């Protein structure tokens, strides 16, 4: 480890260097000028936006009310005609003479309808090139509809009758929303429906209707339809700003007046978009504006009829928006929204901003010249110290060349940093590196506590270690174990966390401190890698005259509390819980069953495909109330020789017979085990148990679970 050079007498205080740099003062002044300019520009933009949008809303709301006003006037005229006897609901020619001029004068009205309490009705519809009327009269015509059509430019008319085939095709004005809305409203008041799809045109629109009565007092309802596409024609013609938008929405945020966007240029696109929410159409600007309102504590429609101008972001651009309520009786309210991009408002300010930027850059140029020399004197060492700090934060604790500087404070900082690196390097060798890294990233001191995680826990133990230790001196044993641990820990550290070394054993787990959805697979793969590496090491050690270190592995998966355990004075990052105890017991059970790697359910299943396992037994270990199935890890599917696979299949059949109570069959099956495995501890144990049960069957309720009292 190289030491940082000592502080020399040539070092000078950093304050003297900073005071000599007049560029800092110039930079501060320039920043103040820019700040004031930006603030003033923002205020100008805000005030301009408020005035422009307020004027636009005043004009747009007035235009929208003017758009609907002819409908109101036409209905009141029709009501007066009916009261004075001018309007005869049964006179088709007279009705045409009265209402055709109204529709010609007011293009926003697409049709006029009449209806009475007997179900009689009449409609005049303006089409692209023709006029059409429809008469329904249940007392005289039944369900038939009498239609008449003639060119709008004049010409011969044709008439015909239609007999609806289904109930949906029959027309009864009393069942229409406009009729019901009018009859539920005061006689002289125009009532508007919610947006809906018209019966005849199959297009969305709204209908205004009014109650009327003839000279004889017979009740009558007169209605006027307004197509939403006509309303959208109006909203798209309104020029707010060069890139501004005007839209009309219902109370539940559905578009009835489309903004002037390229997506709504065609008739088909507009029909498809009407009555849909902006988010459904891929135009999030409305939702972004609403979200900005909610962030300001405004939910729903404004009670006072309007709200204040507010800015919001959408699509990477800044907009200003405001909204106003347009009310139509009875209690029908629409939200008129104006949105203006800020770029339409800041055009006049660009020249001012450019001048300020040029002046600021000129002042900064003078500051840069004076600051350059100072930057060279302390900038480089500080940058190197920053890089070293970043490396230390990543736990890259390798020794590096010392950082030297003539500035005393920088030199002292370098010395302190090297001391910190040395301390962390020593500390990281006593706890898992991932844990240290997590503490460094959190920037907080370790505290008692933990969190519940699902982990896969591993315990290892060297077979016959006591005898090995008796034959070696402590120094020789330490060197031998150092090689063993270095190889094992390097494999485990790739995907897992080494908890602790207990004598010759290792405790490790997967799934903490960082989440690992494949913790069971990684634990099994690490165990196989350790076995493979141990096989090579043991062959080498035997050639060198060193004792081989055969190792047993126990794996268990389940919930555990993982975190800092101990006291405020001394903590240990570890895992505690039943799964930890189970993994320790499984490592010990390898001695009982003559295996190297044992795992309990659900580890084999969670480890996934491509691995071969042999179920050994179901055991109930000391301290656990539930029995658990234990499995021997045979290896990867393509690496296990066929003879061992055949032995595993034979053992599985015998185990199944044993569990089903065919103990004689289990003994016979085990007698067919190939010679290399007849003395296998698991085979001997199962055969002994089956033979005993065959000779003396157990009572009812017996279960094939081995009770293990020893820990």
Segment 448-473, tens digit of pLDDT: 678 899 999 999 999 999 889 888 88
* 139 within a domain of the structure (yes/no): no
Under the banding of pLDDT at 50, 70 and 90, the label for residue 2 is very low
The per-residue pLDDT for range 113-147, each reduced to its tens digit, is 999 999 999 999 999 899 999 999 999 988 899 99
Q: Are residues 67 and 189 in the same domain?
A: yes
Within a 10 A sphere around the Cβ of 402, how many other Cβ atoms? 15
Q: What is the CATH number of the domain that holds 356?
A: 3.30.450.20
* 218 within a domain of the structure (yes/no): yes
Under the banding of pLDDT at 50, 70 and 90, the label for residue 201 is confident
Q: 663 is in which domain, residue-wise?
A: 636-711
Q: Are residues 519 and 470 in the same domain?
A: yes
Q: Are residues 588 and 701 in the same domain?
A: no
Task: Give dist(CA 172, CA 176) in Å, integer.
Answer: 7
| CA gyration radius, the chain | 44
DSSP alpha helix (H) spans, 138-278? 138-141, 177-183, 228-237, 267-273
- Please report the DSSP string for 406-462 in residue order: SBHHHHHHHHHHHHHHHHHHHHHTTS-HHHHHHHHHHTS---SEEEEEEEEEEEEEE
Q: What is the pLDDT at residue 7?
A: 45
Q: What is the pLDDT at residue 223?
A: 95
Choose the final residue of a domain: 608, 628, 650: 608
Highest mean pLDDT range out of 226-230, 255-259, 413-417, 495-499?
A: 495-499
* 595 within a domain of the structure (yes/no): yes
Q: Are residues 589 and 661 in the same domain?
A: no
Q: Look at the chain and report how many structural domains it folds into.
A: 3
Q: What is the pLDDT at residue 556?
A: 97
User: Which of 709, 648, 650, 659 minimizes the C-alpha distance to 689?
Assistant: 659
Q: Are residues 188 and 253 in the same domain?
A: yes
Higher pLDDT, 33 or 451: 451
Q: Are residues 252 and 110 in the same domain?
A: yes
Q: Are residues 239 and 319 in the same domain?
A: yes
Least confident of 299-308, 397-406, 535-544, 656-665: 299-308
Under the banding of pLDDT at 50, 70 and 90, the label for residue 202 is confident
Q: What is the pLDDT at residue 190?
A: 92
Q: What is the pTM of this model?
A: 0.47
Q: Which residue has the tokens 């004005």?
A: 173
| pLDDT surpasses 50 at 498 | yes
* 688 within a domain of the structure (yes/no): yes
User: Which of 565, 580, 290 minimizes the C-alpha distance to 451?
Assistant: 565
Average pLDDT, integer, range 663-687: 92
Average pLDDT, integer, range 197-225: 87
- Taking the alpha carbons at both ends of the chain, their separation in whole angstroms is 47
Q: Are residues 289 and 208 in the same domain?
A: yes
Choose the final residue of a domain: 340, 361, 381: 381
The three-class DSSP label of residue 675 is: helix
* 705 within a domain of the structure (yes/no): yes
| pLDDT surpasses 60 at 292 | yes
């Amino acid at each position: 480890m190289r030491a940082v050079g000592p502080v020399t007498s040539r070092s000078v205080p950093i304050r003297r260097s900073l005071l000599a740099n007049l560029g800092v003062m110039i930079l501060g002044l320039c920043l103040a000028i820019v700040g004031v300019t930006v603030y003033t520009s923002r205020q100008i933009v805000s005030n301009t936006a408020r005035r422009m949008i307020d004027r636009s809303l005043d004009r747009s709301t007035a235009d929208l009310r003017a758009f609907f006003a002819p409908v109101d006037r036409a209905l009141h005229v029709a009501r007066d005609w009916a009261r004075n006897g001018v309007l005869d609901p049964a006179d088709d020619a007279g009705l045409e003479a009265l209402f055709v001029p109204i529709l010609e004068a007011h293009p926003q009205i697409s049709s006029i309808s009449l209806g009475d309490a007997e179900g009689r009705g009449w409609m005049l519809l303006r089409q692209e090139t023709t006029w059409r009327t429809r008469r329904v009269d249940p007392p005289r015509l039944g369900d038939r509809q009498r239609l008449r059509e003639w060119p709008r430019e004049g010409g011969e008319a044709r008439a015909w009758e239609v007999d609806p085939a289904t109930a949906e095709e029959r027309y009864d004005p009393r069942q229409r929303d406009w009729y019901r809305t009018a009859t539920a409203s005061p006689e002289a008041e125009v009532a508007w429906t919610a947006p809906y799809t018209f019966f005849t045109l199959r297009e969305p629109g709204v209908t205004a209707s009014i109650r009327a009565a003839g000279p004889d007092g017979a009740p009558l309802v007169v209605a006027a339809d307004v197509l939403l596409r006509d309303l959208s024609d109006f909203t798209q013609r309104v020029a707010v700003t060069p890139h501004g938008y005007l839209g009309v929405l219902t109370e539940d945020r559905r578009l009835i007046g489309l903004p002037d966007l390229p997506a709504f240029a065609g008739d088909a696109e507009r029909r498809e978009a009407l009555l849909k929410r902006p988010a459904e159409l891929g135009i999030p600007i409305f939702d972004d504006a609403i979200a900005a309102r909610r962030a300001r504590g405004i939910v729903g429609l404004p009670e006072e009829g309007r709200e204040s101008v507010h800015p919001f972001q959408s699509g990477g651009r800044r907009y200003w928006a405001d909204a106003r309520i347009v009310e139509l009786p009875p209690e029908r309210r629409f939200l008129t929204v104006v949105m203006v991009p800020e770029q339409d408002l800041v055009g006049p300010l660009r020249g001012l901003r450019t001048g300020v930027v040029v002046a600021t850059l000129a002042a900064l140029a003078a500051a840069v010249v004076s600051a350059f020399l100072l930057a060279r004197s302390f900038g480089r060492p500080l940058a190197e110290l920053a890089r070293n700090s970043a490396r230390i934060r990543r736990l890259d604790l390798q020794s590096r060349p010392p950082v030297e500087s003539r500035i005393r404070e920088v030199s002292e900082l370098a010395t302190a940093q090297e001391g910190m690196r040395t301390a962390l390097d020593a500390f990281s060798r006593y706890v898992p590196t991932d844990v240290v890294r997590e503490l460094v990233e959190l920037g907080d001191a370790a505290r008692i506590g933990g969190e519940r995680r699902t982990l896969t826990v591993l315990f290892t133990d060297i077979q016959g270690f006591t005898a090995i230790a008796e034959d070696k001196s402590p120094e020789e044993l330490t060197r031998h174990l150092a090689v063993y641990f270095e190889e094992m820990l390097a494999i485990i550290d790739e995907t897992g966390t080494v908890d602790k070394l207990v004598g010759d054993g290792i405790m490790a787990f997967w799934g903490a401190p960082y989440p690992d959805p494949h913790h069971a697979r990684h634990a099994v793969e690490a165990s196989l890698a350790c076995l493979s590496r141990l096989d090579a090491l043991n062959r080498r050690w035997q050639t060198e005259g060193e004792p081989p270190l055969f190792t047993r592995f126990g794996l268990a998966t389940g919930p555990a509390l993982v975190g800092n355990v101990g006291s405020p004075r001394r903590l240990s990052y570890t895992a505690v819980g039943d799964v930890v105890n189970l993994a320790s017991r499984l490592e010990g059970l390898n001695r009982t069953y003559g295996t190297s790697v044992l795992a309990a359910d659900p580890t084999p299943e969670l480890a996934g495909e491509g691995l071969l396992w042999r179920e050994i037994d179901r055991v109930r270990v000391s301290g656990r109330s539930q029995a658990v199935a234990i499995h021997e890890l045979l290896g990867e599917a393509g690496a296990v020789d066929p003879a061992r696979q055949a032995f595993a299949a034979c053992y599985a059949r015998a185990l199944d017979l044993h569990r089903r109570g065919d103990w004689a069959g289990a003994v016979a099956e085990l007698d067919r085990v190939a010679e290399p495995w007849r003395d296998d501890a698991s085979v001997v144990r199962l055969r002994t148990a089956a033979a005993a049960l065959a000779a003396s069957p157990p009572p009812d309720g017996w279960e094939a679970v081995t009770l293990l009292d020893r820990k």
